[in-house]
Structure formats: structure tokens, C-alpha cells
């Protein structure tokens, strides 16, 4: 009696001598509607990923070479967008759940290798000015280069039961620091911080801080909420606004900062592996961090392809922040001067 290949996970079949590729699934055999409903993305996007990652996923040093890049990418997209290694999805492309797990690992690392290609701040003056102009068009807040915030993604307890990953709610998580532009494109994503770290401590230690203090122009700033401390390059809301100008500043700040909240909703709507609906990420903190970053890369690529899902309903339990805001005004007199000048120049 013949045994379906879909339920086998034999090294000889998967990695057989000569590294012959097993073509289990063909994109041209299914409809666009099926691809979107099962893997979360249309054919053109998937073909782009095959072109982008194909050489990496076919490296002779990788044992899974026998599984085609196309199949590996479909397996990974299926996991990212559903949060599950369900048997139905593996059967659809002809591989076992164990093979799907290996495919997710391969595609994740290939995307992480390309993170700096797709997630970065622009360098040229013209593009930086466009960033500011686009943000100004939202709510009249000048000089904004990006909006920053943290979001927690639940993970399983590390084997060492490291308490540094236990957040304020008593759950294990990674605290992810992200910056986006006015369209929700991510300009920075640091996904590896332990969940016990408050947002302000994450920012204090982040590469983002070094980047803004040493590289980016001084005539612009990020917008952050009250979980962060005011800096010359980071404008926070006033804790207790008193004058009309201060109220206008806070309103413009809130309306502009809302972009990052919408971006977080987009991420969890598109990538259900992050939203907690199918449980926590069942990986080590390092591997979980890489999966989150891979989803961030795919988020930016999808926006480049015009796949905007900001209208999608919020789902799941991906928290924006674990902070209980207790604003501490900055002791940086220069930062206070910069914000006061902003108030007087643009909101008085």
C-alpha cells in the first residue's frame, strides 16, 4: 500500500543523495484567493520573496535544500500569518510539521539577514525632509522623523526560567522597540529586549539612542509617549498641560503618535504568530526575537507592494506596552528648552 509523502519526514526523502529538490507544490496550480486565505499574501508577493530569498534557501550547506525555496517560503508564511503548524497546512504543500518548523527557521534567518536592507532610516536630506513633511501633514507637528514605542510579544518561559523575561503582568515576553514613519513603514526594530525592562530602560540601552545622538540630524526628533524621558531628539507630551499652546501641542503629539499604535495593530492583524491567539511563541528568546524581526521585514516589504491592512480589525493580545505611566520630567535643560521653543514657535 502506498504511503503518502506528506506524512513522511525521512531524511532520505527530504535531503536525499544529490540534494534533489522535491517540488511538492506549484503556485500556478492554485488561485490567488487560495494563496491569500491560506498563506496571507498574493502570488506576486510570494514570487518576489522566492526571487529575494531563493539563493539563500538553496545553499548547499543547508540540509533542507531538498525542499524548494518556494515550498519553504509558503511554509513560513503559513506559520507567520496563522501562528500554527497545523497539519492541514503542511498537508497542503506536502511536508510534515517537523519539516515546516525547519522551513520557518530557514526563512526566518534569511529575512533577518536582510533586515538592514528593508528597515532603516533614510540618510539623504531630501528624504529626511519628506519624512518631516509627511508627519506635519497629519496633525501639524513639525520636525518629526518618526514615532517610537514599545510592544510586548509573549514567549514561552526560557529553559533557565530567566526572570528578566517576566513582565509587569507576570507573563514571559520580549519588549520590542520600534519606530515608524507616517505610513507605518518601520524605520527601526529592536526585538530582543527582555520583557522585565521598562520602555525607558530599553530606549536607554538601544542602538536607536546611539544612532540619534551621534548620526541623525539635530533639527528633527522622534515622538514618544510618557513612558519615555524627554530628550533633545525625543519629544514627549506634557504631563499636565496648562496653557492653550500646551494643549495644542499635546493634541498634535497624540494624533501623530497614534501612527505607531496603528502599526502595531497591523503587525498583529497580519502576523497572527505575534498576537497570542494561538499561544505564545514556542521558541527561545533569541529565536522568538528573530521571528518578530522577520515579520517586521515582511511588513515593510508588504507596504512596498501596496498591501496596506490598516483597516483590518484589531485582534489578539499583543500588548502595546506594559508601562504604568509615571512621567518623570527630563532633567536635561537643553531638551526642555527645545520643547519650549517648539511650543512658542508652532503652537502659541
pLDDT in tens, 263-277: 999 999 999 999 877
Task: Give the whole-angstrom CA distance, residue 38 versus residue 78.
Answer: 7
In terms of Cα–Cα distance, which of 189, 171, 169 is closest to 180? 189
Low-confidence residues in the chain, pLDDT < 50:
1-23, 61, 64-65, 311-318, 320, 322-323, 325
Task: Give the whole-angstrom CA distance, residue 313 versus residue 306.
Answer: 18
**Cα dihedral 80, 85, 86, 90 in deg (nearest 10):** 90
Q: What is the pLDDT of residue 4?
A: 40
Q: What is the pLDDT of residue 277?
A: 76
Q: What is the pLDDT of residue 30?
A: 82
Determine phi and psi for 161, rounding to 5 degrees.
50, 45
Q: What is the pLDDT of residue 161?
A: 66
- Residue 273 in contact with residue 80, Cβ under 8 Å? yes
Q: What angle do CA 201, 206, 212 make, to 5 degrees?
A: 115
Residue 320: count other Cβ atoms within 10 Å of its Cβ.
15
pTM of the predicted model as reported, rounded to 2 decimal places = 0.87
Task: Give the whole-angstrom CA distance, residue 245 versus residue 238.
Answer: 11
Q: What is the pLDDT of residue 261?
A: 95
Q: Look up cell 531524511; give the residue.
A: 11
Task: Give the whole-angstrom CA distance, residue 94 versus residue 7.
Answer: 8
Q: What is the pLDDT of residue 318?
A: 45
Helix ranges restricted to H, 176-215? 199-205, 207-214
Q: What is the pLDDT of residue 342?
A: 95
Q: What is the pLDDT of residue 326?
A: 52
Q: Which helix (H) or strand (E) holds 322?
A: none
- Residue 233 in contact with residue 213, Cβ under 8 Å? yes
Q: Which helix (H) or strand (E) holds 296?
A: helix 285-304
Q: What is the pLDDT of residue 47?
A: 95
Q: What is the pLDDT of residue 53?
A: 97
| First vs last C-alpha separation in the chain | 82
Per-residue model confidence as pLDDT tens digits over 123-168: 888 999 999 999 999 999 999 999 999 999 999 998 776 789 999 9
Q: What is the pLDDT of residue 25?
A: 65
Q: What is the pLDDT of residue 89?
A: 65
Per-residue model confidence as pLDDT tens digits over 193-213: 999 999 999 999 999 999 898
Amino acid at each position: 500500500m502506498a504511503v503518502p509523502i506528506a506524512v513522511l519526514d525521512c531524511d532520505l526523502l527530504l535531503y536525499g543523495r544529490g540534494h534533489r529538490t522535491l517540488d511538492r507544490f506549484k503556485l500556478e496550480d492554485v488561485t490567488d484567493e487560495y494563496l491569500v486565505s491560506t498563506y496571507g499574501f498574493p502570488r506576486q508577493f510570494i514570487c518576489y520573496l522566492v526571487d529575494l530569498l531563493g539563493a539563500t534557501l538553496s545553499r548547499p550547506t543547508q540540509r533542507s535544500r531538498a525542499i524548494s525555496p518556494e515550498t519553504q517560503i509558503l511554509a513560513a508564511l503559513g506559520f507567520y500569518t496563522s501562528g500554527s503548524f497545523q497539519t492541514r497546512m503542511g498537508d497542503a504543500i506536502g511536508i510534515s510539521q517537523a519539516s515546516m518548523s525547519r522551513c520557518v527557521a530557514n526563512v526566518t534567518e534569511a529575512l533577518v539577514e536582510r533586515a538592514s536592507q528593508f528597515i532603516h532610516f533614510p540618510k539623504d536630506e531630501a528624504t529626511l525632509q519628506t519624512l518631516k513633511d509627511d508627519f506635519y501633514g497629519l496633525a501639524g507637528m513639525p520636525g518629526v522623523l518618526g514615532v517610537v514605542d514599545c510592544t510586548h510579544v509573549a514567549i514561552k518561559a526560557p529553559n533557565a526560567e530567566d526572570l528578566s523575561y517576566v513582565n509587569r503582568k507576570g507573563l514571559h515576553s520580549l519588549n520590542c522597540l520600534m519606530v515608524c514613519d507616517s505610513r507605518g513603514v518601520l524605520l527601526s526594530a529592536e526585538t530582543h529586549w527582555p520583557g522585565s525592562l521598562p520602555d525607558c530602560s530599553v530606549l536607554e540601552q538601544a542602538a536607536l539612542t546611539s544612532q540619534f545622538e551621534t548620526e541623525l540630524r539635530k533639527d528633527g526628533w522622534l515622538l514618544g509617549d510618557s513612558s519615555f524621558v524627554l530628550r533633545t531628539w525625543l519629544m514627549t507630551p506634557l504631563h499636565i498641560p496648562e496653557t492653550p499652546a500646551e494643549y495644542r501641542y499635546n493634541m498634535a503629539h497624540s494624533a501623530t503618535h497614534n501612527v505607531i499604535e496603528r502599526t502595531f495593530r497591523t503587525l498583529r492583524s497580519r502576523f497572527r504568530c505575534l498576537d497570542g491567539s494561538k499561544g505564545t511563541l514556542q521558541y527561545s528568546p533569541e529565536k522568538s526575537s528573530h521571528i518578530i524581526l522577520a515579520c517586521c521585514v515582511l511588513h515593510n516589504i508588504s507596504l512596498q507592494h501596496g498591501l496596506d491592512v490598516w483597516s483590518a480589525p484589531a485582534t489578539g493580545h499583543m500588548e502595546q506596552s506594559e508601562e504604568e505611566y509615571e512621567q518623570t520630567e527630563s532633567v536635561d535643560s537643553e531638551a526642555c528648552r527645545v520643547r519650549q521653543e517648539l511650543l512658542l514657535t508652532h503652537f502659541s
